[in-house]
Chain A
């Protein structure tokens, strides 16, 4: 990877692509320069020969080239004018063909030359200079295929530099590009083109086809697993080249028969590919690659059969041109490039299978139709257009169905459940186990291994491994081989894993926030039980008077009630808190035959929220004051006033009792100290003045949350303090 980066893959690819473009541009110019002839001769079934614009003749009919004054310059058989006859006969026949072909071409450049057909008609025969605008669509298509082959080869090499497979692949690409150039040239070949050009075009085409076949054989013999030694491959290559060289000079084999060698190479390449596919069936990545290659190969064969072979079998001669058939081959070629470059193999794998199935369906339709045609003797019915529509529509349909189906995700609930199992597991160990179980359920990997470096979700090793960081602050996990090794991890798995990590992380965070809240609440309850209920019961232990004991127990119960109320921790409206305090106060005092004067003024309509801690302080302080008044003051009337002043609530309670001397040595000194402490902790203040005509208690309490010192005291209060002190 580093090596590839240091070479700057994009630059390397740009350079290679530019080179390919220049070569192909030159090839177009060369094709355009080939002159056309005014007379075109084509082969027809039954060895007949057709002269365009004239008629149909037997191959051995005599044909003559005349000069302007009707003198016979050259005389030959009609089939010598057929370009496709090139290299189809014995060595002697081929030599005779090229001799005749050479003479005819020379005469095409002599002005006034005419051709006398077997029926005596005369046709003017001359060369027409080639122009770029005359380049046929077939030639353009061929050259475009060549360019694609070169680009695909370069792309694979750039992505996987320094490896054998991409090199062999680029070699095959170069061979294919050369072949397409020769195909484009033969598209433009005419009687006016030099015979030598035709000779070499055909031979270079053969050479490049051999090269292409050989490089594919070598590729599949070595990649991904070595099936044959390099020495054997070199031997086969040399043998092929020897045969080729011999054939070039018509010494050994007929050139046309040589296509058999190419066919054999093709069969060998397919056989090797199938063997490789079989051998790599246990490796998901390689298997995906070969599913891709294999299915594209199948599509090629089916496409070629449908567009080329079958119509020929049906006796139709207006078959699509060779370039169109070659373009189908390009599909296989691109699949091979993808497989070698290992680019998104895992995502394409499933698609390849679908396309292959589609191709099989088309193949079956074709076969059925052929059988029908043979049985009934009817005409060929399936048009190429029909097949193309089927081939184009079915994948679109598949895609749409998948899109629609994808929206209905039935797994979401399961995922949520799994994530909450992780987040709410009791111990960290259980959490980790639940997380592993969740990943197991979701991806069914063959193995899970700790991966310390995992900081983000990633697919590694061509989809064999999915690296998932831990949402629990532990080492991440590397999942090997999805679905028990049946498939590779793909981008959807990655997205799912990322989602899971985020979900669990958030749930764990929410859970620990909740746990902290519970802990704080527990500490508060413990502190309150200790301070309020505990200390009150402790005092009760030392009382002799049963009435006081009862009073203490009731007060302890009331405190308990406040603690329970405070558990909800919710703030209540100031007006409601005051209404409840007033209700309790008036009732208690009236039972003690004390009159209460507590006017219900506007503060009893003040709906602003009072935090639970503040209202607790207020309730218990007023309760304590009222208790003191009932027990000790000997009062006949209590006057209470309350009002909001700024952000504080001020409340004063005046009784007309006999008072005490103002020191804290009153019988309830302990209670007074406690009240002062609680109010100060809540950020308020407490004042008590007493004289012979009564006692005035003044409370000031901020309506906002308590002081920082209060919060701190709460957080650090010992949970187990209840038992140890008091």
Chain B
């Protein structure tokens, strides 16, 4: 089905059809592809991953959390092993609990479906430029999370660097990425890189925690 000229895959997992179609349309335009794959449930998304996913191609997956047959977090967790995939969670509200869970599962950013189309397009473009979404709420949550030393084994370094802590602190006060870069005398892009690293650490930490928890309960 995919055009042979296409160099990357885009997957939209969303159960509300008009939203899915709009997202697919905009993503195709912004990411410069002719075809965008769509899935309306966990089952169809997993089927796509099994039969359609080309592992050699980069993948951008926009994944909704509240799917009819389960949570998109499971899908994000599954895709975390795919080093060529970028998961973005789509959510109506910036509910930090949901977004944090998705980030912990391996999502590299989030997209607010409740915003107007211009804002969504802007976010997608930012994603294309390597920008990253972060809100003050999430920054404060992350700070809180890493303040308590994670339950990870000592060889995996999941604690924040001083710079990362500074970034979160500034964003937590309401500054945008650009303003944060200005305040910290670094580029906005560097700030974005720091945030991405922090998201990755959150994923590593939560995986380690899950493993330790499983070992504790005798599941492993």
Contact = CB atoms under 8 A, between A and B. Distances in A.
A580 B136 contact: yes
A579 B114 contact: no
Interface string A276-310: 00000000000000000000000000000000000
Interface of B: 92-93, 114-119, 122, 135-137, 140, 172-176, 179
Contacts of B137: 576, 580
A586 interface: yes
24 contacts: A554-B115, A558-B114, A561-B93, A561-B114, A575-B173, A576-B136, A576-B137, A576-B140, A579-B136, A579-B140, A579-B172, A580-B136, A581-B174, A582-B136, A582-B174, A583-B135, A583-B136, A583-B176, A587-B176, A588-B119, A590-B176, A600-B173, A604-B173, A604-B174
Contacts of A558: 114
Given A561-B93, A579-B136, A587 B172 contact: no
A600 B173 CA distance: 8
Nearest to B119: A591
A557 B93 CA distance: 9
A579 B174 contact: yes
Contacts of B119: 587-588, 591
| Chain A interface residue number, banded | 20 to 34
Contact of A591 (B122, B136, B140): B122
Contacts of B174: 578-583, 586, 600, 604
A590 B136 CA distance: 17
Contacts of A576: 136-137, 140, 172
A358 B50 CA distance: 82
Given A579-B140, A591-B122, 4 more contacts: A564-B93, A576-B172, A580-B174, A583-B135
Interface in A581-613: 581-583, 586-588, 590-591, 600, 604-605
B136 to A, nearest CB: 4
A554 B116 contact: yes
A138 to B, nearest CB: 78
B148 to A, nearest CB: 19
Contacts of A604: 173-174
Contacts of A22: none
A316 interface: no
B116 A551 contact: yes
A612 to B, nearest CB: 15
A77 interface: no
A599 to B, nearest CB: 10
A71 interface: no
Contacts of B172: 576, 579
A550 interface: yes
Nearest to B122: A591
Contacts of B116: 550-551, 554, 591
A506 B118 CA distance: 56
Given A580-B135, A580-B136, A583-B136, A557 B173 contact: no
A588 B93 CA distance: 15
A557 B114 contact: yes
Nearest to B134: A583
* Residue with the greatest number of chain B CB neighbours at <10 A, chosen from A551, A558, A587, A605: A587
B115 A579 contact: no
* Residue with the greatest number of chain A CB neighbours at <10 A, chosen from B92, B118, B135, B173: B173
Contacts of B115: 554
B140 to A, nearest CB: 7
Interface in A371-412: none
Contacts of B122: 591
Contacts of A575: 173
A578 B172 CA distance: 10
Contacts of B140: 576, 579
Contacts of A554: 114-116
Nearest to B176: A586
A600 B136 contact: no
A588 B119 CA distance: 8
A514 to B, nearest CB: 24
B92 A557 contact: yes
Contacts of B114: 554, 557-558, 561
Interface in A528-579: 550-551, 554, 557-558, 561, 564, 575-576, 578-579
Q: Across chains A and B, which 6 residue pairs bring their CB atoms closest together, nearest first?
A: A579-B174, A582-B174, A579-B136, A604-B173, A583-B136, A561-B93
A247 B115 CA distance: 121
A595 B172 CA distance: 21
Nearest to A598: B174
A595 to B, nearest CB: 12
A92 B215 CA distance: 107
A600 B114 CA distance: 27
A546 to B, nearest CB: 11
Contacts of A557: 92, 114
B176 A579 contact: no
Contacts of A581: 174
A545 to B, nearest CB: 14
Nearest to A600: B173
Contact of A600 (B93, B117, B175): B175
A696 to B, nearest CB: 22
A576 B140 CA distance: 9
* Residue with the greatest number of chain B CB neighbours at <10 A, chosen from A564, A590, A591: A591
A643 B175 CA distance: 17
A557 B112 CA distance: 12
Contacts of A580: 135-137, 174
Nearest to A580: B136
A610 to B, nearest CB: 15
A578 B174 CA distance: 7
B66 to A, nearest CB: 14
